[in-house]
Every structure is written in C-alpha cells, then in structure tokens.
Chains A and B, each alone.
Chain A
Amino acid sequence: MEPPRSSGVGIDNSGEYSPEIAETLRFEEEIQSLIHPSSFDGSAAPTGGGSFTALLGLPANQAVELLHDSGAREPLASRIRVGEHPVHRPFHLPLDCSSAFPSNATLVDRAARFSVFAAEGSPASSSGRLKAEPQDSDSPPLDPIPTGPAKRKDTGRSKAKVTAKKSKNAEENTDGDKLPYVHVRARRGQATDNHSLAERARREKINARMKLLQELVPGCSKITGTALVLDEIINHVQTLQRQVEFLSMRLAAVNPRIDFSSLDSYLSAECGPVTVRNGPGGVVVDPSLWPTDATAEATRRLLVPQFWHIDLVPPQLQPQQSLTTWERDGAAHSQLLPNPTTSLFLYDPANSGDTNVPHRTAKLKTAEDRALNL
C-alpha cells in the first residue's frame, strides 16, 4: 500500500505542513468513524488492530491534536526522515473501514504513536516521543509501548537511525526516568548493539551486587577497586566461619550439665508456643515456619497458654508442598530437629508450672527414645 499522498508527505520535509494538516482533518473524521463501530477497548478486533483501536479509542481527539501540534514542531522533520520506513510496513486494519484507510497508513501510524504517548501522559516530552519513535519504526506499529523497550535491545539499528538518535541523545539522557518501563539507555558515543547492551546491563547488575556486598562487609566502603573489595569480602566470610567454629567449641566446652531452667525461661519469654507435629519420618517441623514467619509469630504469641500443645496443627502448615525437596534434603536432620523439643518437654519439672506436663503422650516417649539413640 503505497499511496501517493503519503509519499508526498514523506518527501516534503521542509517547513511545509499544510498538506498534512489538510489530511489530518479528513483523518479525524475517519478516526471517528473507526471508533464508533468498534468497541472502546477494541476487544472485537484482532490482535494487531485491537491494540490500535484501544490506543486510538481513548485519546483519539488528543491524537489528532497531537498531529496538529506536532505539525508545527521541529522534531517532525526528523520524524519524517525516519518516517519513510512505516510506509513499507504492512498495516493491519481492524474493521471494515479498511477501504477508507490505506491512504493514510503513515498518518495512522503516527497517530498511533502519538496516541500512545498521550496515553502515557503529556509529560512525555517531545524528546521522549522522539526517543521511542525510531524504535517503533522497526517494531510493528500497533503495540509500541509494551514491546518498545523489549525491542530496543533486540532490534539492530541501521546507521542512519543511529546517527539521528545520537544527535538527540544529550537531551534524551535526562528524560529516561520519566517513562514507566525499565530500559537500557544508549549513552552518547556508545555502541548500541544487542551484545553491548546486554553486556552493559550485566555489568550494571554486577556492580549493583558488589555495592551491596560492600555495604554488608564493614570497612569495605572506603576501599576502591574490585579486587581489594573482593579480597576483603573473602576475608570477612572466612573470619565469620572461623568464629562460628570457635563459638561452637566454646559452647561444647561449657559445662554440659543440664541447664534447662535458663534455656526454658529464655524460650518461653522469647517466643510463643511451639507447634510440633510428630509425623512419620520425614516431616520436618521447622521448614514449615518459613512461609508464615511473620504471621506465625503473632499467632503463636496469642496462643501462649497452650504452650507445648502437640496436636496443634494450624492451617499455616499447608504451604509445605513447595518445600518437599527441602524436606527431602533435610530428612536426615529431621530426626534432629523435632526431637529436641520433646527432650525439652521432658525436663520440664525443673521449670515453672507453665508447661503442660500431662500432655506428654506415648508419641513423645518414643520420640525421646529416638533422640537419645542418636
């Protein structure tokens, strides 16, 4: 579909916009006729055209206004330079108004783009519009916004577009944060290949993580240079591991007499009741605490009087399905973890009368035997 009129518009890139404005008036009528038969959200239309009507449906008048407005603006010149491309694209029209439209394929494309920008919000300045445009001339015209940022990385740019874009880069750099999507900005003088963009994104990710690590490790923020920072991090981790080992030795060396009063009082004060479920074999109690930690703490505090109640199976234990591999991993440790609770229960007489001693059932006894046979 190469209408003579649009090619005429494409050629005239000097300040003469009157033929275009004359067209836009006719275009406005056609847009109205297009909108009314179609539903507002374009649900009746096929995929490509649907988004178009959706785009055009809402800010239709704004789109035309934009056309009028942009007619006076300077960026139109570059757009028209670039705008030769849309002519060659196949344009899917949604409804039976197709007969009326082919003549205005390029204008409709531009209108689509403008309406999209209007939908974003007017703060998307002309430079923002300009930035997105060279993208859209590559991507299919009907869904610029969602695929624009995605396509930005993927589409290879022709040299002409690269130069046209770079000339506006200084202005565009500041507007990057206004748009709602995340994108990689091609800076001035930098290559805009797919590979370099991806690499740059990756490098930025790595730098962000390194900064995080630097904040975690004390004394790392002053150090400049990746190698030294990494060195410091490794040293810190090794120090921590050694500390764990040292403390565990100390804990083992502390008088191993049964000091339950302190431990029990600590536990009872610190946390609420413990939900124990002595299931068969591989049921691990503790991993069930993960998904519900925040809420579980609160509910546990409420259940203070029912301290060591064994049969308390709250519905929170449902999301255990996702943890099955986890449980399998820790199956050997499952022996370890629920049993200490039972041993704690059994030595309650040393403690105050908070705990319910008569709750000790046969289950507990067998569990305790298993624990001691460890």
Chain B
Amino acid sequence: MGVIDIMDAKGTSSLGNPNPNILTPHPSKSSVAIRFLRVLSLVRHTASSSPSSRACRIRRAACSCMAYSAGPRRAWSRALLRKLVRRRRKPPRRDLPRPAAIIRRRRPVGGDRLEVALRRVVPGGAGMEYCRLLEEAADYVKCLVMQVRLMQSIVDFESHVHSVNKRSEIDPGDRN
C-alpha cells in the first residue's frame, strides 16, 4: 500500500527528536491517521451543501484530530479544542477548571512585537509565560507538520487510486 509506506517513512523520520527531555514524544502517527480518516469518511458521508463548508469542516476535523493526538496536557491542544467547540455551539459552556488561566502569576507583557505575533499564531498563547509559549510553539509545530504530512499523503493516495481506477475502467472497456 502506497500510503502506508509513505506514512511509515515519515513516521519514523519525524521521531528523530534531538531533545527528548523537553518535548514529550508524540503518539505514533497511525493514531492520528485513524482518527482523521474516520472523521473524513464521516464528513464525506453527510451530504453537505457546498465544498466550502465541507472544507471548513474538514479543516476543523483536522485541527481537532491534531489536538486530540497531542494529549490534554498540552495547553495549545486544549485551547484549540475550546475554540473549535465554541464555534460549534454558541451558548456558553459551563466553566471548566482552567488553572492556567485563573492562576496568573505574572501578566504577560505585550511589548515585543514578535512575541505578540507568536501568541496570536499559537492557539492558547495569550495567557502563558514566554518560556511556556516557546515550549507550546515547538509542540504545535511538530503536530502541524505531522498533520500536514498526513493530509498530503491522503491526497496523494486518493489521487493515485483515482487515476488507477480510471485507468482500470478504461482498459476493460477497451478490451471488451
């Protein structure tokens, strides 16, 4: 299977982490793949109106899969899910215990332009200290890379299968 080869190769290469003590090792890529494929198939089932809304849903699904695979211990994954969920359901949810938000030892000063930009980019980056922000950013980047590779491989796989199917459809026709 082409996709599996791609996935395995990328999976092993992505685990070459030089600093294992700071970044926790992610779960294997296949767990993200399983989740994402499931969600993908679901979204494809529900006959949605337009490709754009479907695209939106797929994007949200991808983000949620990424966040789930990262684990609840990561602040960015929690914040990402909170954002996604909030968009789904307008009414306010009950307040979950969020010690990171409640206990703010030092107010993050928004002086540095770069720091502010980083906070905006990384989900959940508003309430963290600078140190923590860098950590979460590194984790987020790793997850994003994994997710992008996964989706790319799926697209490649499907386009490949699609082309193969088309060819197989044509050939028996020719033979017959």
Contacts and interface: CB of A to CB of B under 8 A. Distances in A.
A319 B27 CA distance: 16
B155 A247 contact: yes
Given A206-B134, A233-B118, A251-B154, A212 B19 contact: yes
A237 B28 contact: no
B55 A248 contact: yes
B126 interface: no
Contact of B85 (A241, A258, A333): A333
Interface string B83-98: 0110011000000110
B22 A212 contact: yes
Contact of B3 (A266, A290, A372): A266
B85 A253 contact: no
Nearest to A296: B31
Contact of B58 (A212, A252, A293, A329): A252
A245 B56 CA distance: 8
Most buried by A among B18, B43, B68, B161: B68
Contact of B45 (A202, A287, A289, A371): A371
Contacts of A208: 22
B111 interface: no
B35 A286 contact: yes
B153 to A, nearest CB: 10
Nearest to A217: B141
A258 B44 contact: yes
Nearest to A341: B38
A255 B163 CA distance: 12
A230 interface: yes
A209 B131 contact: yes
Interface string B27-51: 1101101110111111111100001
B152 interface: yes
Contacts of B58: 248-249, 251-252
A330 B85 contact: yes
B130 A206 contact: yes
Contacts of B28: 293-294, 297
Contacts of B38: 337, 340-341, 344
A327 to B, nearest CB: 9
A240 B41 contact: no
Interface residues of A, number: 73
A252 B60 CA distance: 12
Nearest to B60: A248
A219 to B, nearest CB: 13
A274 interface: yes
Interface in B74-130: 78, 81-82, 84-85, 88-89, 96-97, 114-115, 117-118, 121-122, 130
Interface residues of B, number: 77
A247 B130 contact: no
A335 to B, nearest CB: 10
B158 A216 contact: no
Interface string A299-336: 00000000000000000000000110110111111001
B27 A290 contact: yes
A343 B27 contact: no
Contacts of A274: 34
Contact of B137 (A213, A250, A259, A269): A213
Contact of A249 (B55, B96, B152): B55
A215 to B, nearest CB: 6
B77 to A, nearest CB: 9
Contact of A325 (B27, B96, B134): B96
Given A237-B144, A244-B148, A258 B33 contact: no
B121 A237 contact: yes
Nearest to B161: A262
Contacts of A247: 62, 148, 151-152, 155
24 contacts: A210-B134, A213-B134, A217-B141, A230-B117, A230-B118, A234-B114, A237-B121, A240-B144, A244-B144, A247-B152, A248-B151, A249-B59, A251-B58, A256-B44, A267-B37, A270-B3, A286-B31, A286-B35, A286-B68, A287-B72, A297-B30, A332-B89, A374-B42, A374-B46
Interface of B: 1, 3-4, 7, 18-19, 22-23, 27-28, 30-31, 33-35, 37-46, 51-52, 54-59, 61-64, 68, 71-72, 78, 81-82, 84-85, 88-89, 96-97, 114-115, 117-118, 121-122, 130-131, 134-135, 137-138, 140-142, 144-145, 147-148, 151-152, 154-155, 157-159, 161-162
Given A245-B55, A252-B57, 11 more contacts: A206-B130, A213-B141, A216-B145, A227-B114, A241-B121, A251-B55, A263-B40, A263-B41, A329-B78, A330-B85, A333-B81
